[in-house]
Amino acid sequence: MKIKRPLVERLGVPEGILDIAEEIYPEILLSIGNNDTVGMLENSSMYVKGNFNINDFNFNRILFNYKIFEGDDLEIIGMSQSTNYKLTDKYKLKTVPTDGMVELKIIISGPKSIKGLNIKELFEENKKTVIS
C-alpha cells in the first residue's frame, strides 16, 4: 500500500481538530440562553461558520444539535459527528461534506428541569473534556 499523504496526529488526535474546538467553544456557550429549557435546546440548531481544516478535510460550517436524555445527574454523555460518505473505486469510505458542512450532536443526561445555565456551567466545568 502506498501512502499518498501521511496523517498528521498528536497523540492520536488529527491535526487541526483541537484548534477548531478551542475556536468554536465560546460560540457554543454563547448560543445557550440561561433560561433555555430542555425542549428549546433539543429543537434548536446552531451554525458556526469558518474555514476549517482537519488534515486534508475542509469544511466551512458546523451544525450543532443537542440530545438530552432524562437522568438523575447532569452529565455529558458524549458527542457524535455525522457527515456523508462515498464508496471509492477501491471500496473504501471517503468523507464527503454536504455543502461544506459537518454536523455535531452533543449528548447530555439530566433532569428535565435543567436550564441552559446549568448546561453552560457543566460545559465550563468540563471544558477540557468537551474540547478533547
pLDDT reported for residue 97: 61
Q: Which of 80-84, 114-118, 125-129 has the lowest mean pLDDT?
A: 80-84
8 A C-beta contact, residue 75 and residue 122:
yes
Q: Would you put residue 99 in left (φ > 0), alpha (ψ -120 to 50) or beta? A: left
Whole-number mean pLDDT of the chain? Answer: 83
* Domain locations along the chain: 9-131
SS3 84: strand
pLDDT of 8-48, one tens digit each? 545 556 777 888 888 888 988 999 999 999 889 888 888 89
Helices (H) then strands (E): counts for the chain: 4, 8
Q: How far apart are the C-alpha atoms of 52 and 61, rounded to whole Å?
A: 8
What is the CA 121 to chain-centroid distance, rounded? Answer: 18
Q: What is the pTM of this model?
A: 0.72
